[in-house]
Structures are given as C-alpha cells and as structure tokens.
Amino acid sequence: MTALPNRIQAIEFPALGEVSLISHPFPPAPGPDEVLLRPDYLGICGTDLHVLHGKHPWVRPPVRTGHEVVARVVAVGAAVTRFRPGQRVVVNPLLACGICRACQAGRPNHCESAKVLGFRLPGLGSTYLNAPAAQLHAVPDGLAPTLAALAEPLAVGIHAVGRARDLHKVLIIGGGTIGLCVLLAARLAGAGPIDIVEPVAAKRALALRLGANAAHAPEALSGLGGYSAVFDCVAAQATLDEACRATAGGGTMVVVGVADAARALPLPRLQRFEIDVLGSGMYVPADIDAAIAALAAGEIAAGALISAIRPLAEAKDAYEQAGQRDSVKVLIDMG
C-alpha cells in the first residue's frame, strides 16, 4: 500500500448555509466486512442543497455531506472477497436493516429503519473513508470515473421510470439532474415521445440534445395533456396540480421530487379517471447495476449532465455553483 496521510479532509455543513472542509484523523483499519475507499469524484445533488439550506423534510446541519461517489478501493477487510485494492467502485448510500420484510423482499428503499450516508449518517465527501463492502458496486475498467459518478442519480431515474406502467407518451416536469436522468432512463426503457417542462432555456436545450421530443417553458404546461406517464421532479403544489391534470385516464403520475411539506392532490380527477399517483424513493441495488451498465455501454450521453468539475479546495464555491439556475451536475474532484 502506498503511504497514507495521517489525516483526512471531509466536506461538512456545520450550520445552515455553511460549507467547510474539516480535518479529521485517518479512519481506523477497515473492519472484516468493510473496505477503505479513496473517493475520486463526488457529485453534488439537489438534495444536498436542500439540507444545506434547511429545505430538506427531515435532515438539518450539522452534516458530513456526500452520497454520490465513485472511489478506488485502497484496502479490504479480512472477510471481503468481492473487491480488491485498486478496483473502482460506486457506493450505494442507502443503508437498510437487511432483516425487515421490505429488506427481505429486495426492497431496501422501503426499509423504515434505513439511513442514508450524507443525511442521517456521515456522508461520503471525504478524502478517505471506510464503507461496508455490501454497499459497493464494481465499476468496469472502461468506464470513466466522471461518468461513473452519475450512476447514483441515473439509478434514481431508472427506478422512477420502472414505477410507471405505460411509457407510451411521457411528460417530465423539471429538467435538473433528476429530470434529465428520468429522461435518459425513459429513453433506455424504449418510451414513446418524451416532453419536458423546465424554466431554464439552457436546460431545455440540453434535454433536446438528450432526446426529448419537445422542451417547454412552464407557461406552456397548462396546455399540455394526455400523457400515459407524468414524472413530477419538482413536487411543488403547482406542478403536482398540473401533473395530475396532464395525466391521461388510467395513467400514472410519479412523484420523484422531494417536497418539503404536505401537498394537496385533486382527488375528484384522480378518482374519476383512475389515475395512479405513485412515489419513487431512491432505488434498489439492481437500479445502480443497470445505471452502471448503461453508462459503460455508452448508450446514453450522460456526460452532458456534468456542468463543472471543481477541485476539493473549492468545495464551498462548488456548492454555490451547484445551486445556480443553469447548473446541472457539479462534481468535486476529491484529489
């Protein structure tokens, strides 16, 4: 093993609106089922910004952030056989109990006692860290680490698309990273025409490059309708109202956005026309595998989602940039 430093640096939100690089002692040797990781790239997610600015439904600073990571394996615990030093991996940040009915059924995202790294557990935004080997997904050699860093948000899109019954005609509300990942996933799934609604012109242009049939400004939303599947990646009251109205009878409305409070739904229309409103919460491990496979196969131009790659020393600016209207995915180069 090459010489390791005595200390690590971690990206933390010590208080609302504050981003700091904090020095900590180097982690202990990995436990029997753990792997010591050296992150390559960390993706900044809209949900991280919700936490930073106090808009997440249940997580507030102080938090050690980060849940979208591609990393190299530095050392493995005594019982780990699936991974070896030097290998590149993506981390599944959803730590479920493994024993409840949902976990036993292969639905760890339904586990009521699950916790997510970077939210209720310390995050992955660290120069070194130990992670359970069971949470790791191998990255094939040919896949660039910057693209592998997109596996987590793409898995969110793949999972959401899997919730809809009929992809004959699709509407996506919100063209940020998650909306665009839903677009990529819907295309992978062979969806019919996919329309997207997004206020920022540059993101609408990106959606068209990624294969959207049409990209509309929000003012056009009230004139759209008849979709067999609508994905609301915003989950504001106004977008939910429009999403329910734009879903055709018998269609599915999938809520992908994270609402910060309760919202009302137009029950008369949902009841009369048998419109299903479904939540989509994170993913299951198979969605991450599917995301890595799609990225490795080069089936989708996901690299276009990367707005900027900032060095770790500029972490504070990176979070600010990630919050700007025209940013999609900002990655931090962990060094």
Binding site for Zn ion (CB under 5 A): 45, 68, 96-97, 100, 103, 111
Whose CA is closest to 332, among 321, 316, 317, 318? 318
Q: Which is nearer to Zn ion, 244 or 295 (CB)?
A: 295
| 3-state DSSP percent of the chain in helix, strand and coil, to 5 | 30, 30, 40
Taking every pair of Cα atoms in the chain, the longest distance, rounded to a whole number of angstroms, is 66
Instruction: Supply the minimum distance, in Å, between the C-beta of residue 109 and Zn ion.
Output: 10
Q: Which is nearer to Zn ion, 103 or 147 (CB)?
A: 103
Handedness of CA 120, 121, 126, 132 (dihedral sign): negative
Instruction: Supply the minimum distance, in Å, between the C-beta of residue 7 and Zn ion.
Output: 27
Q: Which is nearer to Zn ion, 116 or 167 (CB)?
A: 116
22 near 7, Cβ under 8 Å? no
Instruction: Supply the minimum distance, in Å, between the C-beta of residue 48 and Zn ion.
Output: 7
Q: Which two three-digit tokens encode residue 292? A: 């890595």
20 near 38, Cβ under 8 Å? no
131 near 89, Cβ under 8 Å? no
Distance between CA atoms of 266 and 19, rounded to whole angstroms? Answer: 39
Instruction: Supply the minimum distance, in Å, between the C-beta of residue 308 and Zn ion.
Output: 16
Instruction: Supply the minimum distance, in Å, between the C-beta of residue 57 and Zn ion.
Output: 15
Q: Which is nearer to Zn ion, 76 or 151 (CB)?
A: 151
Q: Which is nearer to Zn ion, 100 or 202 (CB)?
A: 100
Q: Which is nearer to Zn ion, 149 or 244 (CB)?
A: 149
Distance between CA atoms of 284 and 104, rounded to whole angstroms? Answer: 12
Instruction: Supply the minimum distance, in Å, between the C-beta of residue 82 and Zn ion.
Output: 22
**Rounded to the nearest 10 degrees, what angle do helices 151-163 and 285-297 cross at?**
110
Q: Which two three-digit tokens encode residue 188? A: 């992978």
